[in-house]
Chains A and B, each alone.
Chain A
């Protein structure tokens, strides 16, 4: 069963057409990679799915809801979370608070005038659990801006996990990492996304082929090919458009 279904999704910014009718189906429980050359519209696709930008046209079905007109926070509450390509945390707050922000939101503790942000024991426990899973437990009390770049990437993943989403979209989680850091990140990602559906934008082909069940190649705002990694790897159009030019 597909958890996310895009039908003819279009996005243009005034004159600039970025997405030219995307059809995409993501099966629940799978790991789905989106690849494509720069400017293919990968991040825009994420922005349209998660509600950063409204789609110009088309339907986005998530768990049976057409979320195309939903606000970003409503989509998140349905069980959809994302990370960002550039580190995008609450930089002035410590690592613990960064993750707790999402956790307490999941527990419905968003706007209370009475209770504190850590009023429930479950919130603290769930926060620590996420911090341990992404390897930041020792840095919990450090302000996010003082983390190393690699740690900030890990925090991105931790924050995406914090609302306990069914579908998690990671935008280039290994961008700017060394080979060792990348290997570690891949391990963390496969560990924390167990039992969830993952859609990942990735440039590193090693990461793509070691992680993904399905690969979708985006080019020029349309889906070029979509299928299992081996199939995509063999596809001549993909070789021409993307892999060959590497």
Chain B
């Protein structure tokens, strides 16, 4: 357990030091990775932990992004933390309302209803031009962070990386902590046997609602940073394609582990960047990779790495490990 905690601390230290060695371009990519890791983590709480397949997770992401952009454009002097909180809160609230409406739907009908809601929000983003500027999108200026004793100018790439790392990194760590709480465990009960938990005094409706609102809020938080990162929001943020992106991130990384989608985001962003440099048809290759992954590596990269690690370990220890394994 102590050993595991070491890895987390090590990862944070490495991430804090990376801007010292990386160029601005890679720092920027890393920021994007953190944003999508947050998005993926929120989706995996829903899918991997709760076994709720949603095709509408981008509506919360997009809602967070649009709330951020609209608020910054309309409310002068809005505090950085206030806008992030507003975006997260809006997404949480909408998650709560939609969750309430589709509470009783299971499996395919749940998935299709989330897709329908996503399409609805997407259409609103395109049509409500007076607030979203439709296909033109909305640009925004990142607000400064005023901590009282010091003001941080977030327009710098490296500074914004640190801001993202601290806030989203904390949110990811809190999500990780969440999986070990009673509520986190209750979600796993729902995944394992939704019927049985009712006869042990758990309300499946409350469990689903809390999970849907929570993951919606976390996706909204990711969306808010997405808008701040690009200083721009377009309908892409709330499109079905964005839902596909988070699905890809989660499946490529693996939904069986908490760290899966973090790894998935890393691979996705770098791959997208690499492929889009080579060819305009990068989505085609991304799709191809996705298909290969789902068919041949169903547990995702995190499972693959784990298996390889275990295999190497077993080989390393040789026969002694086998003897130990049998006892």
Contacts and interface: CB of A to CB of B under 8 A. Distances in A.
A52 B201 CA distance: 13
Contacts of A92: 191-192
A14 to B, nearest CB: 19
A110 B182 contact: yes
Nearest to A99: B200
B182 A111 contact: yes
A113 B204 CA distance: 16
The B interface, classified by DSSP as helix, strand, loop or mixed, is: helix
Nearest to B196: A88
B192 A93 contact: yes
Interface in B192-242: 192-193, 195-204, 206-207, 210
Contacts of B195: 52, 88
B198 A71 contact: yes
B146 interface: no
A163 B186 contact: no
B207 A162 contact: no
Interface residues of A, number: 36
Contact of A89 (B183, B188, B193, B203): B193
B215 to A, nearest CB: 13
Interface string A58-99: 000000000000011100110001101000111111000100
A116 interface: yes
Interface in A109-152: 109-117, 119
Interface of B: 178, 180-183, 185-186, 188-189, 191-193, 195-204, 206-207, 210
Given A50-B199, A111-B182, A116-B180, 19 more contacts: A52-B199, A71-B203, A72-B198, A73-B198, A76-B198, A76-B201, A81-B200, A88-B196, A101-B189, A105-B202, A110-B183, A110-B202, A113-B183, A114-B181, A117-B185, A117-B186, A159-B196, A162-B200, A163-B200
